[in-house]
Structure 1
């Protein structure tokens, strides 16, 4: 399995190099003049772009593995399906953890979604979206993508549409039940989104293990 993880990380080597370079610049950013609006804005913009583009690491890794029929080749390799599954999960979680460290280290506290005081912080959304790829993008196996939801659609769905709908629901509940649209504000729903993503990712993992054993 270790060799599979190394292979997967090699496929994402340029992402890792970019993350590493940005982290190396962190001490200079910390010591820099906080009044340098242009410099700080560039850094924050870059990290926010990364938070969006890399919120579907599993999709981007899959693109390097081949098209949707590539699973026939990968399943013919002298490794077990369990090893392929574990390597896929570990790789995505490692890349996600590295990206989350990047967001956290630069103190990106802004929320991608802010509706009536109900927010979804960038870091929790980033982690959640990556975890949810397991059950939405790759429900059957890590080498076969759900082609009904492309990467752009997935990112829009998980980072913007679903959080926005949740905000509307909470505001509506506040208005109807408590006669106060700000009843749930201020509230960072991103943490609960993250907890839900963990549960669903675990369910997806156990389901795929069961499917492998059953076969």
Structure 2
């Protein structure tokens, strides 16, 4: 499994470089005041990098699968003298490791959260939490058969659109419909903010663990 982990890390070398750069420059935001054109440009560049990382690295298992060789990856590596259990564990460790590191680095910066607002209602969907949840959902949804074999009918772009846009919008609309149906004040929507943040994250963890148990039983 050690060699599989090394393989996965090497395939993510550019991600590691970006993470390292962000980690090194994170203390600068505490000592540099954003009151000049140069610093504003610098902050804008960092914000663009953070946006790039948070979007492109959401569901980074798709990117790893692409570098491994897409659909044929599992057939190839499954033919090598490694056990399926080692492949499963290596991919789960890689997913969790890069996800937590990415979320940790994003949390070091003052990243604007996704915001849903209407009159007195204001809901912030915290980026690091949603980043972890979207990545944790990737394997149960798109790699539920084997952790290196992607479902052919699920594309990376479609996954991002559904997880980043469609599901949050639907969740808010359903919550609004329930409040209106039972004639509850819309300001009560503020109390659902922890549900959107922690509930989505908790659900992703449950799905990830459940899928691991199912896959482990299949390959063991």
Note the C-alpha offset of 1:113: 4.5
Map 1:30-69 onto structure 2 (within 5 A). 30-35=30-35, 36-69=39-72
Counterpart position of 1:212: 219
Match in the other structure for 2:83: 80
Aligned equivalents of 1:41 and 1:190: distance in 2? 26
Distance 1:32 1:46, change over 3 A: same
Partner Cα separation in structure 1 for residue 89 and residue 166 of structure 2: 30
Contact preservation (8 Å) 1:74, 1:143: no
**Scaled by the length of structure 1, what TM-score is found?**
0.93
What TM-score does the superposition give when structure 2 sets the normalisation length? Answer: 0.91
| SS class of match (1:78) | coil
Matches within 5 A, 1:122-137: 122-137=127-142
> How well do the aligned residues superpose, as a CA RMSD in angstroms?
1.5
Runs of 5+ consecutive residues of structure 1 not aligned to the other structure: none
- Deviation string 1:135-178 (CA, Å, 9 cap, x unpaired) is 11101001210121100100111111111110111111122214
Where do residues 88-107 of structure 1 align in structure 2 (5 Å cutoff)? 88-107=91-110
Match of 2:18 in 1: 18
Q: Aligned pair count? A: 212
Unmatched runs of 5 consecutive residues or more in structure 2: none
CA deviation vs aligned residue, 1:160-211 (integer Å, no higher than 9, x gap): 1111110111111122214322312151412210000000011111110111
- Given the alignment, which residue of 168, 174, 179 partners 2:179? 174
1:193 aligns with 2:200: yes
In the TM superposition, residue 57 of structure 1 has moved relative to its aligned partner by 1.1
Structure 1 window deviating more from structure 2 (41-50 vs 82-91): it is 41-50
Kindly indicate whether the alpha-carbon contact (under 8 Å) linking 1:141 and 1:208 is maintained by their aligned counterparts in 2.
yes
1:160 match = 165
Q: Which residue of 2 aligns with 1:7?
A: 7
Alignment partner of 2:190: what SS?
A: coil
C-alpha spacing 1:115/1:203, structure 2 compared with 1 (3 Å): farther
1:76-118, Cα deviation, whole Å (9 max, x unpaired): 111110000000000011111111011111132x222425423
Identify which range, 169-178 or 190-199, moves more after superposition.
Answer: 169-178
Higher mean displacement: 70-79 or 41-50 = 41-50
**Segment drifting more, 174-183 vs 12-21:** 174-183
What secondary structure sits across from 2:116 in the alignment? Answer: strand
For 1:131 and 1:97, the matched residues in 2 are separated by: 10
